[in-house]
Structure 1
């Protein structure tokens, strides 16, 4: 099995991450143009066809393990979000484009972030995550701070973080315990 095979679907107790396919363009396009979800993302003015073309080009970066774009799915297969690992340059990667929609189960933020880190640290052998959060995105800022991310610097628009593998390794069991003790179907 290749690394790409190992990261194509990453399963947690209540959700999974599966690599984006061209038929997902409609779902992603809907998220990107929905003001309930796109407030803190880079602006997107394209069409559904533009989203399909973007995915086609992305698949080339995926094949080179330079980027991984996931659909977040509930255990019943219903899409409930998206997340992306990009600028993958071992031992560092960035992640973002993180959206969870109204179909998400409880604790989906914790579980999807944990699955991102399991993918990058455990499967791909990365050492550190980098990401930025818009200053106005208070809930996401609070989440990352509670998760243990370290602020590195800030601009007028964004706050930048890093999250080392060593921190994840020390906290992973407690995160997984929280998630496996909670079933979204109960």
Structure 2
């Protein structure tokens, strides 16, 4: 499965992506607002192997974000599938990303969750202090629905994403 936008695509993760994921998730420039992971590539490869069972069962989907030339530039995961909503996270983009990779990857996630999986809304959390990502989601139309000591919780509807997509059409093509 490959989801393609103007400058990037999402493809399902494979075992050979383990080193890239470890490098990305252990880089201090990108992991401040993510759950901690170790630097063991073989352990990551084993995690991916186990994850593939969840993928086959339709329980979660982990994507590598790539530029159209095949250069990996990030990750994103769709998980916590509920009767009417899905969550997404593990969203990281490195310095190899394209100018609009954040917008494009978010819209591809929504296209996948709403279009391919058939959900009407998404739910997700953002770690407190990650103001740039909070601002991004609010501009996309996400609504804050709660918080705890560590996270702010959001929901976004298919309609809100469609409105954002219309506003962003000239940027994303």
> TM-score w.r.t. structure 2 length?
0.95
Cα deviation 1:62-115 (Å, max 9, x = unaligned): 011110100000011100100000112332111000000000010111110000
Distance in 1 (CA, whole Å) between partners of 2:135 and 2:63 is 23
Match of 1:100 among 93, 100, 108: 93
Q: 2:25 aligned with 1:32, yes or no?
A: yes
Unpaired stretches in structure 2, ≥5 consecutive residues: none
Distance in 2 (CA, whole Å) between partners of 1:26 and 1:67 is 21
Q: Secondary structure at the match of 2:52?
A: helix
Q: Is the 8 A contact 1:114 1:175 kept in 2?
A: no
Alignment correspondent of 2:158: 165
Q: Secondary structure at the match of 1:89?
A: coil
Distance in 2 (CA, whole Å) between partners of 1:55 and 1:33 is 17
Distance in 2 (CA, whole Å) between partners of 1:120 and 1:156 is 28
Alignment correspondent of 1:121: 114
Alignment correspondent of 2:41: 48
Distance in 1 (CA, whole Å) between partners of 2:148 and 2:115 is 31
Cα deviation 1:8-41 (Å, max 9, x = unaligned): 2100011000000000001001111111111110
Distance in 1 (CA, whole Å) between partners of 2:94 and 2:39 is 20
> TM-score w.r.t. structure 1 length?
0.89
Distance in 1 (CA, whole Å) between partners of 2:85 and 2:133 is 21
Q: Secondary structure at the match of 1:132?
A: strand
Pairwise CA distance, 1:176: 3.7
Cα deviation 1:44-70 (Å, max 9, x = unaligned): 135111100110011000011110100
Unpaired stretches in structure 1, ≥5 consecutive residues: 1-7, 181-186
Map of 1:67-146 to 2, 5 A cutoff?
Answer: 67-146=60-139
Distance in 2 (CA, whole Å) between partners of 1:161 and 1:143 is 12
The two structures, once aligned, show a CA RMSD in angstroms of 1.2
Q: Is the 8 A contact 2:127 2:151 kept in 1?
A: yes
